[in-house]
């Protein structure tokens, strides 16, 4: 049987059942719109959480009496430690400048009172996985080095960052999974209602000897058409919203321009594929119950 036959049957079915088909199209449209807005929001939230997690570091303080070779030996040892992403050297002068930026009056008066810079030089250790910072600190502490004075991992701040960002990532992942499930269920249920209105037609075709796939293909093609146009309308609305609101406001609000989110062309392709696939699969699977005659 030529493919054009199934296409004609699908178009005929859409004309005969225009109201259920329109409901299914609007469902796909609204679902794709919600996904198109929600996906960048989830990515921006997760990216911000990861950026905050990158601030989890450990400070390895250097003895004032340590020689340059001993400092180089300590740096090499830190870089070779498993799980360490980077090691940054902070000199005494730079440490004082950073401290004065946070509390100018206190550190200026302290330096004047002591007559010298009281802060030691240090290495700032950034872990590959913030959750493994404690094990990295333990490894560094167990490795005796002549230049090593003290290791601090800002335990209180680290715990707050890890717990807060972990909660944010868990909530966004849960919401994303819930939205995807709800979207599939909503589209499938709308298609089921559309097919229910034509169940007699399916039963008659089955009774006269039509095979399951002969009956199913027009409905699958209907799902493809409905999903395509629903996704297309959603994409057009997203493009209009992006060019009208998001792009002009991104120059004024860093929150809109800053997060590293999915490229818009890739988002369009993803939404179109999801709309077509879910509608087509929903049509084929939902039809099974009506083929049992």
Model confidence pLDDT, tens digit, residues 130-183: 878 888 888 888 877 888 888 887 656 666 766 777 777 778 777 777 776 776
Under 8 Å between Cβ of 119 and 96: yes
**pTM higher than the cut 0.85:** no
**What pLDDT is recorded for position 233?**
92
pLDDT above 60 (res 252): no
Last residue of a domain, one of 118, 136, 153: 153
Task: Single out the residue in 109, 124, 153 at which a domain terminates.
Answer: 153
**Of 118, 153, 188, the domain-final residue:** 153
pLDDT of residue 255: 45
Alpha-carbon distance values, 219 to 25, 147, 206, 227, 272 (Å): 14, 74, 14, 12, 19
Rounded Cα distance, 194 and 25, in Å = 11
CA distance 97 to 167: 34
- Residue range(s) defining the domain that contains residue 283: 3-52+162-291
Lowest mean pLDDT among 187-196, 208-217, 248-257: 248-257
The span from the CA of 85 to the CA of 101, in Å, is: 26
Say if strands 84-90 and 58-62 run parallel, antiparallel, or are unpaired: unpaired
66 and 103 housed in the same domain: yes
Domain check: are 258 and 135 in the same one? no
Same domain? For 130 and 27 the reply is: no
What stretch of H or E contains 10? helix 3-16
Q: What is the CATH number of the domain that holds 107?
A: 3.30.70.3040
Give the Å distances, CA to CA, from 221 to 32, 257, 268: 19, 40, 21
CA distance 267 to 38: 11
Q: How many domains does the chain have?
A: 2
- Are both 197 and 240 inside the same structural domain? yes
283 and 166: one domain?
Answer: yes
Q: Assess whether 199 and 276 both reside in one domain.
A: yes
Structure tokens at 237: 């609305």
| Averaged pLDDT score across all residues of the chain | 76
Residues in CB range of 189: below 8 A, 6 or more apart: none
Average pLDDT of the segment spanning 12-17: 74
Same domain, 145 and 10: no
Is the same domain home to 38 and 67? no
Same domain, 39 and 64: no
Does 124 or 21 have the greater pLDDT score? 124
pLDDT of residue 270: 87
Hey, what are 108's tokens? 């200026």
Instruction: Let me know: does 172 contact 34? Beta carbons within 8 Å.
Output: no
Q: Looking at the structure, do residues 139 and 102 belong to the same domain, yes or no?
A: yes
Averaged over 58-67, what is the pLDDT? 86
* Residue 48 and residue 172 in one domain: yes
Q: Which residues pair with 148 in a beta bridge?
A: 62
What's phi and psi for 106, nearest 5 deg?
Answer: -65, -45
Residues 90 and 141 in one domain: yes
Q: How far apart are CA 135 and CA 227, in angstroms?
A: 50
Report residue 232's pLDDT band, with 50, 70 and 90 as the boundaries: very high
């Amino acid at each position: 049987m030529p493919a054009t036959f199934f296409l004609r049957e699908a178009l005929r079915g859409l004309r005969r059942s225009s109201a259920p088909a329109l409901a299914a199209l609007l469902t796909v449209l609204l679902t794709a719109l919600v996904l198109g807005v929600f996906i960048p929001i989830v990515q921006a939230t997760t990216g911000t959480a990861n950026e905050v997690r990158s601030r989890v570091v450990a400070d390895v303080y250097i003895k004032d009496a340590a020689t340059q070779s001993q400092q180089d030996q300590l740096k090499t040892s830190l870089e070779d430690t498993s799980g360490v992403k980077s090691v940054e050297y902070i000199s005494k002068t730079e440490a004082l400048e950073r401290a004065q930026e946070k509390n100018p009056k206190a550190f200026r008066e302290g330096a004047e009172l002591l007559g010298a810079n009281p802060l030691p030089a240090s290495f700032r250790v950034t872990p590959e996985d913030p959750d493994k910072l404690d094990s990295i600190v333990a490894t560094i502490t167990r490795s005796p080095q002549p230049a090593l004075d003290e290791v601090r991992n800002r335990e209180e701040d680290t715990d707050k960052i890890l717990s807060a960002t972990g909660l944010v990532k868990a909530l966004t992942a849960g919401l994303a999974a819930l939205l995807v499930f709800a979207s599939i269920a909503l589209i499938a249920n709308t298609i089921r209602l559309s097919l229910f209105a034509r169940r007699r037609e399916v039963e008659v075709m089955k009774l006269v000897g039509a095979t399951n796939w002969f009956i199913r293909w027009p409905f699958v093609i209907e799902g493809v058409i409905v999903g395509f146009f629903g996704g297309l309308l959603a994409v057009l609305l997203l493009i209009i919203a992006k060019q009208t609101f998001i792009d002009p406001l991104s120059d004024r609000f860093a929150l809109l321009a800053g997060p590293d989110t999915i490229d818009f062309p890739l988002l369009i392709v993803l939404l179109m594929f999801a709309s077509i696939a879910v509608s087509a699969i929903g049509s084929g699977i939902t039809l099974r119950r009506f083929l049992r005659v």
